[in-house]
A and B are shown apart, each in its own frame.
Chain A
Amino acid sequence: MIAGALVHLLPVAQIGQDFFRDRSDSDCISQNGTFCFQWAVDNFTDRYLPPALEHVALVAISVIAGFAIALGLAVLSHRRRWLIPPLNVGTGILYTIPSIAFFFLLLPITGRGNVTAVIALTAYTLQILYRNIVAGLANVPAETKDAGRGMGMSQRQLLWRVELPLALPEIIAGLRIATVSTVALATLAVFAGGDGLGQELVGGSNLTFKTGVILAGGMAILIAVFFDLLLVLAQRLLAPWRRVRPV
């Protein structure tokens, strides 16, 4: 009660008349033009670069974690063959479930926030990569493995010195697919309370902002292309004996 009365006594700051902008002449932004180049240049570093970097971080962490776990599982099931059918069926079902649904199915387990987004993205890349690594290992020619054994290699040496390097192209193909998909999926992190480019795509009134949608969407595509090229480069460097197949 008293507080209410006090409000009327507080000195009201003078908001000068020049605070109110004159919007009578329309420019690109007020018309919501298709792409306001000047505005984009002025605002890019401030407004789109930070979310883009957050996006890169989300994807990088998730893919690396997913790859590590998938590799571990693949190596494990290489040794213990009986693991392969159940893991395959499991990941097969998960593979069919649309990434979007998958993301939200994990939310009750992991709550809201950035850590959640990473966990969901990691789980998603994990199941793609597991199947790819296993398939890659399965495609190593038997003669090559025999030759290795003939040379006196142990199981372990065979795996790390022969099978995995030969499976590398297929593994990298899987990595490329997983990474590009994860970039797209990470735009949804905003619905789980996470960071990334999703906020600038659909947050608040950004959904109607043409220039903003192009910038945010364009950045997402660029990030996907960037990672793709990086992986192609990695394959060229690490497994030069195989031509990089178009994936």
Chain B
Amino acid sequence: MSELLPVADVISSFGDAFDFIVSPQPSPFAAGGGEVGGPAEVLDKLVEHLKISGASFALAVVVALPVAVWLGHRGRGEGFAIAIGNAGRAIPELALIAFTVAFIGLGFANVVFALAVLGIPPILTNTFVGIRQVNRDAVEAARGMGMTGWEVVRRVELPLAVPTIFTGLRTAAINIIATATIATLAGQTTLGDFIINRNVFGDEGVLAGAMLVAALAIAVELTLAGIQRALTPRGLRLERATSAAA
């Protein structure tokens, strides 16, 4: 049952999955030939996926970013910031969804809250580390020039910390998109519906769902990379802090 399938089968599986996305198929499993798949249904679930991911991401940013910037600027709470990052990584996404279902309940708001919990640690840790790692000389110089604390943050620390902050943002975004996939278990019809409900959509649906989620993640990653490039101050050579990468 788990022998490696021949290459021809694999290619045809991906072909079937592609068909599934492009045109409605009679469900392999439904009697009376109800149709599944096709661009309309894919779009529906894609929109739902984006709604949930977007809302959670926004919530995570709103919660984590200011706190981390403040802590980093003041140089306080390093242990806390690092620990949150570590702890966040250890949370299994499936357990988080299961916890949400069992304790909090289904529903859009509940799931958004749970996903935001996943997004907060990488944003918090990376932003903190990014701000902390800004060259102290630059900060001193800025203060010497008479900038207020807030101006130092806005004009020196944040721009210089952009790469690291964005690493955190990208990690959070990908994590959230990934977990929004299994949010199907909590009654949200995201792209994960195709993957989890093999009953209805068949094996081609599973594969199609996975392909769509992967494509979505790559698209979001590229978008955020583009935004990062736009926000990175020109003329500054910045070392990528690989150690802060998740």
Interchain nearest-CB distance for B118 vs A (Å): 10
| CB contact between A96 and one of B89, B179, B207, B218 (< 8 Å): that residue | B218
Q: Which of under 10, 10 to 19, 20 to 34, or 35 or more describes the interface residues of A?
A: 35 or more
Are A101's CB and B214's CB within 8 A?
Answer: yes
Q: Give every chain B residue within 8 A of A220 (Cβ-Cβ).
A: 92, 95
Chain A, 183-204, CB within 8 A of any chain B CB: 183-184, 187-188, 191, 193, 198, 201-202
Chain B, residues 193-235, CB within 8 Å of chain A (1/0): the string is 0011000000100110111011001100100000000000000
By a CB distance below 8 angstroms, the chain A residues around B1 are 111-113, 193
Q: Are A201 and B98 in contact, with the CB atoms below 8 A? A: yes
A113–B218 Cα distance when bound, in Å, is 28
Given known contacts A109-B5, A183-B92, A221-B90, A173 and B99 CB-to-CB distance under 8 angstroms: no
Does the CB pair A202–B185 fall under 8 Å?
yes
Q: Does A217 contact B (CB under 8 A)?
A: yes
CB-defined contacts of A245 to chain B, threshold 8 Å? 243
Contact B98 A207 (CB under 8 A): yes
Q: Is B182 interfacial (CB 8 A cutoff)? A: yes
Scoring A residues 215 to 227 as 1 if CB is less than 8 Å from chain B, else 0, what string do you get? 0110011001100
- Residues of B142-201 whose CB lies within 8 A of A: 174-175, 177-179, 181-182, 185, 195-196
Closest to A104 in B: B210
Contacts of A43 in B (CB 8 A): none
Chain A positions within 8 Å of B86 at CB level: 228, 246-247
Interchain CB contact under 8 A, B90 and A177: no
Measured CA separation A247–B81 after assembly (Å): 11
Q: Which of B1-16 contact A (CB under 8 A)?
A: 1-5, 9-10, 13-14
Please report the C-alpha to C-alpha distance between residue A202 and residue B174 in the assembled complex, in whole angstroms: 23
A155 at the B interface (CB under 8 A):
no
Point out the residues of chain A lying under 8 angstroms from B209, CB to CB: 101, 104
Residues in A with CB closer than 8 Å to B82 are 246
A225 to chain B, nearest CB (A): 6
A103 to B14, CA, bound (A): 15
Contact call A107/B92, Cβ cutoff below 8 A:
no
Q: How far is the CA of A191 from the CA of B218 in the complex (A)?
A: 24
Q: Which residues of B contact A188 (CB under 8 A)?
A: 94, 182
Contact of B210 among A93, A105, A110, A206 (CB under 8 A): A105
Interface centre among B5, B174, B181, B210 (most CB of A within 10 A): B210
Shortest beta-carbon distance from B41 to chain A in Å: 18
Closest 7 CB pairs of A and B: A98-B178, A217-B95, A113-B2, A184-B92, A108-B13, A104-B210, A101-B213
Known: A108-B10, A191-B195. 10 other contacts (CB 8 A): A93-B218, A96-B218, A100-B195, A101-B214, A104-B209, A109-B5, A184-B90, A213-B99, A221-B91, A246-B82
Interface residues of B (CB under 8 A from A): 1-5, 9-10, 13-14, 82, 86, 89-96, 98-99, 101-103, 174-175, 177-179, 181-182, 185, 195-196, 203, 206-207, 209-211, 213-214, 217-218, 221, 242-243, 246
